[in-house]
Amino acid sequence: MFGLGTPELIIIFLVILLLFGGRKLPELARSVGDSMKELRKGMSDDKTAVKKDTKSDAAKKPKQS
């Protein structure tokens, strides 16, 4: 995962802890989780729309012999 090992992840966690404090950390984690969920949902919706458009475009094209 991006070449990050355990020591790097610990340092990142400590920096986040120092920046946001222990009390806001659960709220921050929750908002990041919600954002990731929305991002995945949006990507899934986009894939579905692209597949639907591709199928409708293929149906509209006349067959060439």
**pLDDT tens-place string over residues 8-64:** 988 998 998 899 888 888 998 899 999 999 999 999 888 888 887 777 766 666 666
**What CATH number is given for 6-50 in this structure?**
1.20.5
Question: Radius of gyration of the chain from Cα atoms?
Answer: 22
Contact call for residues 28 and 20 (beta carbons, < 8 A): yes
**pLDDT tens-place string over residues 40-52:** 999 988 888 888 7
Kindly report the CA angle at 60 between 59 and 61, in degrees rounded to 5? 95
pTM: 0.53
For residue 16, give every residue at least 6 positions away whose Cβ sits within 8 Å of its Cβ, in sequence order, or none.
25, 28
